[in-house]
Amino acid sequence: MASRIFGSAIKRREDPRLLTGRARYTDDLVLPGMAHMAVVRSPYAHARIRRIDGGKAAAMTGVLGVFTGQDLKDAGFGPIPCAWVVPGSDTKTPPYPPVALDVVRYAGNAVAIVVAEDRYRARDAADAVEVDYEPLPVVVDAFKATQPGAPRLHDDVPDNLCFHWKVSGGDVEAAFREAEVVVKERIVNQRLIPNAMEPRAALAQFDPSMQEFTLWVTSQNPHIARFLLSLDTGVPEHRIRVVAPEVGGGFGSKIPHYPEDSMAVFAAKATGRPVKWTESRSENYKATIHGRDHLQEVELAARKDGTILALRAKVWANLGAYLSTASTGIPTILHGLMLSGTYRISSVHEDVYGVFTNTTPVDAYRGAGRPEATFMVETLVDRLARELKADPAALRRKNFIPPFDDGHSVATGLVYDSGNYEAALEKALQMADYPALRKRQAELRAQGQYMGIGLCTYAEICGLGPSQVAGAVGFGGGLWESAIVRFHPSGKVNVMVGISPHGQGEETTFAQIVASELGVPVDDVEVLHGDTDQTPMGWGTYGSRSTAVGSGALMAAIGKIKEKCKVVTAHLLEAAVEDVTYADGRFFVAGSPDRAKTIQEVALMANVAWNYPKGLEPGLEASAFFDPPNFVYPFGAHVAVVQVDPETGEVALQRYVAVDDCGRVINPMIVEGQIHGGIVQGIGQALFEGAVYDENGQLLTGSMMDYAVPKAEQFPHFELGMTETPTKVNPLGVKGIGETGTIASTPAVYNAVIDALSPLGVKSLDMPLTPERVWRSIQQARRG
Ligand code: MCN
C-alpha cells in the first residue's frame, strides 16, 4: 500500500463548503409550493386529552390543515417502532403514537399538527389550537417510578418497568465473600441534552402519480429511517426515498426515527404540498432525545493488595415516556457488557431496570452506555485506591488485562479484539510527568491549595457489527456495510457508501483509502453518501462504526477493482493474469515493471471496451458488503489536572493529557479533531451540563440560558498522544475514535476533582460539579 496518503493529515474536503456557508442543510431546501408544519405540544408532562379544537386555527389565513393523532391513525400511520428489544428482558413496548391519541406523557409530547403557507402562520395557528387537558400525576425519577403507588404511564406496564435485564459472569457472591475490601458508590449519571449545531428538520414530498414519498431529513442513517418509516406508515420501502443532505452534527440524537418524520410525510400527502418542519432550539430540548440518566448502585470487591475481584451493580435507567429507536439497547448491551473496563475482573453482575417516566425519551448520546459503564468502573477504582492509600496509577497497572493482539475474553462474555492498556497509561503518565504532578500537588496541599490529578483508563466497544450478534442481542437490523467504487472513463472515481457521516469527515478519509489503495490522486475521488436512491444499503453512522465497518466494505470493493484491472491489463499486455501485479497505481508484469498500464489507462479501456478480454463485463465498478467478525475496542488513558478554589467551589481545568489508540490512523488531524470534540462533550457532563426537571415534569433547563453547553474558553490546550494497536477485525486494522474522548474525559475530570477535595474529606459528588455543589460539599465536609 502506498502509505503517504493513508495516515497523513490532509485537510478535510468537507470544510470549504461548510466554512463558507455553501453547504445545504434540510432547512435550506425550498420546493415549489412548499408549506410549513408546526407541532402543537403538550405543556403538561402527564394528562388526559379531553378535547382538541382546531377550529380557530383552521380558520386562520394561510392555514392548510389542522390534524390530530386520530387523523394520522385513520391514514394508516402506526406507532413509532422501537428497533431494539433485548431478548430475555421481558421488554414491554407500549405504543408510541407519532401524535398523542388520548394521553400525553411528557411535556412536549405532540398533540396536533398544523400546516400553513409559511412557518410563522403555522406557528401562530398552532398556538390557536385549543386543547382541553385533564392533568394526571407525574413521575420524573426512574427509581421513584418503580416504587409502589407511583403514577403509571402506560396501562399495561406495571411499576413503569419496561424491562429488567441482567448480566453475570464468574461467581460474584463468592468473590464478595472472599473480599478484604469493598467500596460502594451511589452514582447519578445525570441526564444530558445533545446539542447538535443544526436542530432537527424534515421536508416531505408526495408524488401521487407514482405514490412515492421523498423525505429530506436530519438523519445519521437514512437507510434505517426509510426502513422504519415504511413500517410505521405502511408505505413500501421502494416507494420511499430518504435523503440526509448536509447534517450539522447529531451525536446520536439523529439516529432515531422521530414522530415528526412521520408527521411531515403524513402532512405532505394530506395537503398535497411539500411540507417542511424545522424545530426551534427550545423544541429541540423538549422533543429531541436526551442521553444518559442512570441511577447506579455499585460495589467493587478487592483484596488488600489491590487485586480487584468483582463488580456488582444495580442500575435504574430512565427511558423517558416512550421507547425511542435504540433506547433499550443503550443501558443493556452497550453499557452492561462493558463492566470489566480494562481490568481482569473475573466476576461481574449487573441488574438493569429500564423505567418509563414523564420525561423526554432517552436514547443514544455520544458514547451511549459506555460512558455510564466507564464512569462507574473508573470512579470506583479511584475510590478503592483512596481506601487502600494506593496510587491510582499503580492500582490500575496491577489490574490491567495484559497486552493481547488476538482476542481476550472478559467476564461479561465479550471478546475484546486487541489492547495494550499499560502502554497507553505509561505514555499518558509520561506526557503529563506524573511524578512531578504528584510532587507539586503535595507542595500545594502544604500551602492549603487544592490541586487534583484524575486518571481514566478505558476500553470501549464500537465499530458496531457483526450482524449475527446484532440479531442475537435483539437489534432490529443488520450491522454490515456496503460500498460501490465506480471508475469513470477519465479515471475519476465515485465512491458510494451506506454510512452517512454528518461531521466526522469520511468524505476525506474514505478518499484517502481509495487514493492509497488504487494510486489515484485523492482529489480524483468523490465520496457520496446520505441518499437511499444513490447509495447502497447501509446501517448508518453511530457507535463509531463507519470507519471500522465501512472501510471493510470499501476495501472489499477495491479488491474487486484490482482483480478486474489485472485481467484487463493481462489482455492489453498479452500476459498471463497470474503474472500481472499491482503497485502504486500501476499494473505490470512481474519482473518487467516497464510493461505496465496505469489504473487510469485500464479504467478508460474498461469503460470503452474497444480492446477487451472476451466475455469480461465492460465497465470498472465494484460493489461489496462487509460484515465484521467482531466489534472493535479502542482504548486509552486520560489524565486531568484541576485546581479547586475552596472559597468559591470553582474548578479550573489546568491540563488535559489524552492518549488514545484507535488502531491504524487514517487521518491524524481528523482523529485529533474527534478526540478534542469528544473530550469537551465528556467534560461538559463532568462540570457543566445536566437536564433538570421539576416534580411536575417541566424541563427547567429548557434553553441554552439554563443548560450549560461548554465553551472553548473553559478548556486548556489538550495534549494528545497516540499508541497504535491494530485490530484484526477489519482489513485496515482500524478502530473507531468518534466517542472515545467523551467516554474517557468525564471520569478523568471527576476523579481529578475528588482527588483535589479528598484532603477536605469529600468522597463523592453528583455531577455536574458546579461551583455551588463543590462549595456545599466542602462546607458539609468541614462541618463533619
Ligand atoms: N478515523 C481515522 N482513523 C481511524 C478511525 C477514524 O482517520 N483509525 C476517522 C474516520 O475516518 C472519520 C472519523 O475519524 O473521519 C470518525 O470515525 P469513526 O470513529 O469511524 O466514527 P463514525 O464516523 O462512525 O462517527 C460516529 C461517531 C459518533 S458515534 C458520534 S456520537 C459522533 C462522532 O462520531 N458524533 C459526531 N463524532 C462526531 N463529529 C461530529 N462533527 N459530529 C457528530 O455528530
Concatenated DSSP letters for 718-735?
EEEEE-----SSSTT-B-
In angstroms, what is the span from residue 642 Cα to ligand 1's centroid? 28
Beta bridge partners of 720: 658
751 close to 455: Cβ distance less than 8 angstroms: yes
Atom of ligand 1 nearest to the CA of 742: 31
CB of 509 closer than 6 angstroms to any ligand 1 atom: yes
Residue 455 CA to residue 639 CA, distance in Å, equals 5
Asked if pLDDT for residue 3 goes beyond 80, the answer is no
Is 543 near ligand 1, meaning CB less than 6 Å away?
yes
Q: Which atom of ligand 1 is nearest to the CA of 541?
A: 24
C-alpha cell at 312: 456488582
As given in the structure block, the three cell numbers for residue 757 are: 477535595
Ligand 1 mutation target, pool 737, 739, 745, most atoms within 8 A of CB: 737
Q: Is 674 in the pocket of ligand 1 (CB under 6 A)?
A: yes
Do β-strands 580-583 and 110-116 pair in parallel, antiparallel, or remain unpaired? unpaired
Strand partners, 351: 166, 314
Kindly give the distance from the C-alpha atom of residue 304 to the centroid of ligand 1, in angstroms, as a whole number.
41
Nearest 5°: the CA angle 111, 114, 116 is 170
Instruction: Please give the Cα distance from 728 to 633 (Å, whole number).
Output: 11
Q: Which of 281, 238, 232, 283 is nearest to 261 (CA)?
A: 232
Q: How confident is the model at residue 1 (pLDDT cuts 50, 70, 90)?
A: very low
pLDDT digit string, tens, across residues 756-772:
999 999 999 999 999 99
| 653-685 core/surface letters (b: 16 or more CB in 10 A; e: else) | bebbbbbbbbbbbbbeebbbbbbbbbbbbbbbb
Q: Whose CA is nearest to atom 30 of ligand 1?
A: 251
Show the cell assigned to 65. Answer: 390543515
Indicate if the alpha-carbon torsion angle 57, 58, 62, 67 is positive or negative: positive
SS3 12: coil
Q: Establish whether residue 252 lines the binding site of ligand 1, counting it when its CB lies within 6 angstroms of any ligand atom.
A: yes
Query: If you take atom 4 of ligand 1, which residue's CA is the nearest one?
Result: 665
State the pTM of this model.
0.97
Neighbours of 58 (CB within 10 A): 16
For the stretch 661-715, pLDDT in tens is: 999 999 999 999 999 999 999 999 999 999 999 999 999 999 999 999 999 999 9
Asked if residue 513 has its Cβ within 6 Å of ligand 1, the reply is no
Ligand 1 neighbour 665 (Cβ under 6 A)? yes
The 10s digit of each residue's pLDDT in 35-87 is 999 999 999 999 999 999 999 999 999 999 999 999 999 999 999 999 999 99
Question: Looking at the predicted structure, is the pLDDT value of residue 742 above 90?
Answer: yes
Report the atom number in ligand 1 closest to the C-alpha of 664.
8
CB atoms inside a 10 Å sphere around CB 314: 16
Cβ of 666 closer than 6 Å to ligand 1, yes or no, is yes
To 10 degrees, what angle do helices 421-432 and 392-399 make? 160
φ/ψ of residue 640, rounded to 5: -115, 140
* pLDDT tens profile 332-365: 999 999 999 999 999 999 999 999 999 999 999 9
How close is the Cα of 677 to the center of ligand 1, in Å?
10
Q: State the cell numbers at 449.
A: 491549595
**662 CA: nearest ligand 1 atom:** 8
Is the CB of residue 218 below 6 angstroms from any atom belonging to ligand 1?
A: no
Question: From ligand 1's centre to the CA of 122, what distance in Å?
Answer: 37
As beta bridge partners, residue 290 has 362
Contact 505 CB / ligand 1 (< 6 Å): yes
Phi, psi of 746, rounded to the nearest 5 degrees: -65, -55
Question: Residue 502: CB within 6 Å of ligand 1?
Answer: yes
SS3 at position 561: helix
Residue with CA closest to ligand 1 atom 20: 547
User: In the predicted model, what is the mean pLDDT of the chain?
Assistant: 97
